[in-house]
Every structure is written in C-alpha cells, then in structure tokens.
Structure 1
Amino acid sequence: MSDLKETGFKSGDIFAAVAAAFAGLDDAEKQKQIKKTNGIFQINVETSDKKSQTWVIDLKQDGTVTKGAGKKPDVTVNLGDDTFVALADGKLNAQKAFMTGQLKVKGNIMLATKLDGVLKASKGKL
C-alpha cells in the first residue's frame, strides 16, 4: 500500500489506509461494500504549491485503490490536500466544502455524497 503514498501529499496516507481497510475485508464484506457504493471515484488532489496527484477508488468492480488516472470514473472530485485530509478526519463537512468552492465535483453528484462513507474506511469503520 506504500505505493499509494506520494511525497508532499498528506492524502496518500489516507488512500493507503482505505486500501488496507478494503484489503482486510473478506470477499462477502467487500462485495457488500461494492454493491452499496457501486461507483468509481477519481480524486484529484492539489497541494498548496500546485503539485497535483490523482487516486482512484474502484467500488464498482474490485474494491481497489490505485494511484493515477486509469479507469473511467463515475465521479471526479477536485480538491486541495488539506481539504481532503479535513474531510477524511471528519473536521470538514463535504457539503460545506462544496458550497464554499473548496471541493468541485464532475459527474454523478449523488455518488459523490457516498465518498464520506468510503473515507470512514480509513478509520476501519466500514
């Protein structure tokens, strides 16, 4: 999972934790989570010094987390590194971040609302 981490991005640790949480599920639990979410998230994260990195969470086919664009996403989320960390920690409400322009969504907006539940996976709360 260390291949998900990226120097200069705090978000990489969260994506690695989400990947580890999904990898730790048995097949039945993983399929349950995939059925519940049924989507591919592409998350484009930008640091304050304008470096960017993309991660993909596939909860439509195989329950994996990868670094770099690849699969055709159902929803694309663009946000800053600090904003992503605050969302994952539960310190920032996604709706508030969206309304203030800190978070931008392209694609299936209703699927984007499920991202909060997916991020809870990083804390082992699937």
Structure 2
Amino acid sequence: MSVKQHLVDLQKKMNANPEGIERLNSVYQFDLTGDVDEQYQVKFENGKAELIETTQLEPDCTLQLSGENLLKLLRGNFNTTMAFMTGKLKVKGDITLALKLQAALEKYS
C-alpha cells in the first residue's frame, strides 16, 4: 500500500474517532525522501484531520524522512528518538508538535 493510501486511511480513522486528535491544531508537513520524493500536509483543526497533497499551507512542524520510515511511523513501528539522533528523521519547526503527533499516532496504530 502506498504512503498516500496509508495517509488517506489514517485520516478516515482519525475523523471517525477524533479523541486522539482533539488537542491538535497544527499543520504538519511530511517531506519524503528516497525512491520517490513526495510532500504531504495534514491539517488538524477542531478534531478533524485533513490530508493536503500540496504544500499550500505554512507548516507548524515539518518531518523529513523516507517514505518507508513514514509508513513505519504510521504503523507504530518507528523509534523516533533513535531516528532523530541518527539523522533518519529531521524535524523543522516546533519539535514539541512532533512529539504530540507521535502520541496521537500511537492511538491509531
């Protein structure tokens, strides 16, 4: 399954059960590297998640990682601390938002 499809499925899960994202009010950008360079944004606002396939909004937090590692993150199989320390994950913007996103993703994996 593609990264995009995983993000679409996650958006549906989050919107159907918004308890895990109610406190998120930010725009996250995913800059994917590796075989295919892609960018996605996810906007969280008022307990809703919206996947945006462009970079039209100013992100509050940008995560740079490979598509493979993003899939691991979405599945809950990615040690973000180790990835950050070894350069497999780079964070631009508010790092506390990255931690909040990780906590929210754990509720949906």
Same fold (TM over 0.5): yes
CA RMSD of aligned residues (A): 2.2
| Alignment partner, residue 4 of structure 1 | none
* Aligned residue runs from structure 1 range 1-126, under 5 A: 10-25=2-17, 29=18, 33-34=21-22, 36-47=23-34, 49=35, 51-60=36-45, 62-120=48-106, 122-123=108-109
Instruction: Report the structure number with the largest CA radius of gyration.
Output: 1
Is the Cα–Cα contact under 8 Å of residues 28 and 60 in structure 2 kept in the other structure?
Answer: yes
Using the size of structure 1 for normalisation, the TM-score is 0.72
Identity of aligned residues (%): 24
Using the size of structure 2 for normalisation, the TM-score is 0.82
Show structure 2 runs of 5+ residues with no match.
none
Runs of 4+ in structure 1 off by over 4 angstroms are none
Show structure 1 runs of 5+ residues with no match.
1-8
